[in-house]
Amino acid sequence: MDVAQFLYHEARLLDTGQLEAWLDLFTEDAIYWVPLERDQQEASETSSIIRDDRTLLELRVKQARHPRAHARVPLARTVHQVGNVMVLGEADGELRVSSTLQLVEWRNDRQRVWGALVEHRLRRAGEAFKIARKRVDLVNSEGELEGVAILF
């Protein structure tokens, strides 16, 4: 599987609600990060919108499935449009990949559109990849976000 196909596959899993399969794409030491500030270098510099390790990602998926998770009911319907996929380099056994993301979210009779620059750090796993790190820089990260109940 090439890099672009892997990113499209990840997006499709999210859009079809296959959250457990999406979670399986991540390494055990993975980090999923949505910074709060533009050009933020480290999560420790300030607050983040999301900064999850693998354990917190597992909890996020479990909460999405829990019948009493009222903040997530109903689950949003989404369409992830991944583009401009570029391999930036390879170091320490990881591919550094940048892409753009346009995401349409439908939830509670309301549609929202998100845009982001995304960076994946991918490790080879047989014929495919595993996500060691995913950073999602929302174009409106410093704006009013009204609760993020989706996965980017």
**Segment 82-140, tens digit of pLDDT:** 999 999 999 999 999 999 999 999 988 889 999 999 999 999 998 899 999 999 999 98
For residue 48, being part of any structural domain is answered with yes
For residue 144, being part of any structural domain is answered with no
Using a pLDDT cut of 70, give the percent of the chain over it: 95
Query: Is the alpha carbon torsion for 140, 141, 143, 149 positive or negative?
Result: positive
For residue 149, being part of any structural domain is answered with no
Task: Give the range of the structural domain holding residue 14, as residue numbers without chain letter.
Answer: 3-138
For residue 150, being part of any structural domain is answered with no
For residue 148, being part of any structural domain is answered with no
Tally the domains of the chain: 1
Residue 17, CA distances (Å) to 28, 53, 150 in order: 21, 21, 11
Instruction: Kindly state the DSSP code that residue 65 receives in the 8-state scheme.
Output: H
Taking the C-alpha atoms of residue 123 and residue 139, their distance in angstroms, rounded to an integer, is 27
Structure confidence at residue 71 as a pLDDT band (50, 70, 90):
low
What's at 108, amino acid-wise? N
Q: What token pair was written down for 91? A: 């170091």
For residue 73, being part of any structural domain is answered with yes
Write the CATH number for 119.
3.10.450.50
Per-residue pLDDT, 9: 97
- Residue 30, class by beta-carbon neighbours within 10 Å (0-12 exposed, 13-18 middle, 19+ buried)? buried
